[in-house]
Amino acid sequence: MFSQRKIWATLALVGFIALSTAKADPAPEPKGVTVDDSKWLLSDAEFFVKLNVKQMMASDLMTKGGIVALKDAIKNNEQLKGVLDATELDLTKDIDSIMATGSGNSSDSAKALVVIRGKFNQVKVQDALEKAAKKDDKLKIVKEGTTTLYEFPAGDKSMYAAFVDKNTMVLTQSKEATVDAVKNGGKKTAGISKGMKTALGKFNGKESMTMALLINDDIQKLLTKIPNLGEASKVSILTTSVTLSDAVSLEMSGVTGEAESAKKLSKEIAKFKALGAVLLEGNEEIPPVALEVLNAIKISSSKEAVLIDLKLTKEMLDKAAKGGKDK
């Protein structure tokens, strides 16, 4: 169902190595993307994800301990620390956002466009990549006309990265697509589908992470096989958002397009939640905070979608960090 997972994981890692950014403009409709973002979307996008790293780093959770923990983790990763030192990048300050759109069901038909924004020393980044290519034959530097491409492995395929300008780097699944993105990307708003427009319209642009998935026929067939969740087959759009503040807020929606099916699906999901509570209750092997988190999940429906909300408070997060116990 998710043949592109390895690609997305690789892209996220590459994004932290080669940063690029642009100033965020006032958000247009749909609200889930900025004016600049809307010029980088694939017109046939079935998948969208955006990490608003700048928002994350400014949240209370990160400024009051999270950033220190991240820096400690970087210190303990010699490879990542070496790359960051060589490129003079600070992950806690220099990243603005990483956005990816994609389409296709198989590795052969999959398309992806990743846009990375941040402030960095472009010369340092290029020098670091060139040195890395000499030591690691999995990283290759190739030329397409006047464009320099950086080839990274992504599963059994390759992804190709290039600088658009001093503030923007793009990655795609082919040399040709990357060169086209360098030459033509970011110049005009993409004509995305009605479904994707609906999905992105559910975000407000202030989230830390947003993700939208249009349900195609293959995924829908899998949904029909989920036992005791028959209404899931009517979902056409899935959206997820995570917002960091002094807590972690998670919001999910499954668009069915009609109130009755959304209401039925919300009841089906509520039954799973109730069953989970029974299984967790009194189970000494499961930290008590797990039941607390489950009980905090709110399930409802609107005129067209199932809605799932969860707020992880600082107290819950502290308990989880301590193994789920009050100490």
pLDDT in tens, 222-269: 888 888 888 888 999 999 999 999 999 999 999 999 999 999 999 999
Q: Which of 314, 249, 316, 323 is closest to 63 using CA atoms?
A: 314
Predicted confidence at residue 299, as pLDDT, reads 96
Tokens (6 digits) for 190? 């993409």
Predicted confidence at residue 128, as pLDDT, reads 83
Integer CA distances (angstroms), 43 to 48, 99, 104, 287, in order: 11, 15, 13, 45
Q: Inform me whether the pLDDT recorded for 327 exceeds 60.
A: no
Integer CA distances (angstroms), 118 to 156, 273, 293, in order: 29, 40, 34
- The mean pLDDT of the chain is 84
> For the whole model, what pTM was predicted?
0.82
**pLDDT (average), residues 276-293:** 89
For the chain, give every domain's residue range. Answer: 5-184, 215-321
| DSSP structure class, residue 166 | T
Q: How confident is the model at residue 62 (pLDDT cuts 50, 70, 90)?
A: very high
Which amino acid is located at 273 in the chain?
Answer: K
Which residues, 6+ apart, have CB-to-CB distance to 258 below 8 Å? 234, 303, 304
48 forms bridges with which residues in the sheet?
Answer: 101, 212
Q: Inform me whether the pLDDT recorded for 167 exceeds 50.
A: yes
Which amino acid is located at 260 in the chain?
Answer: E
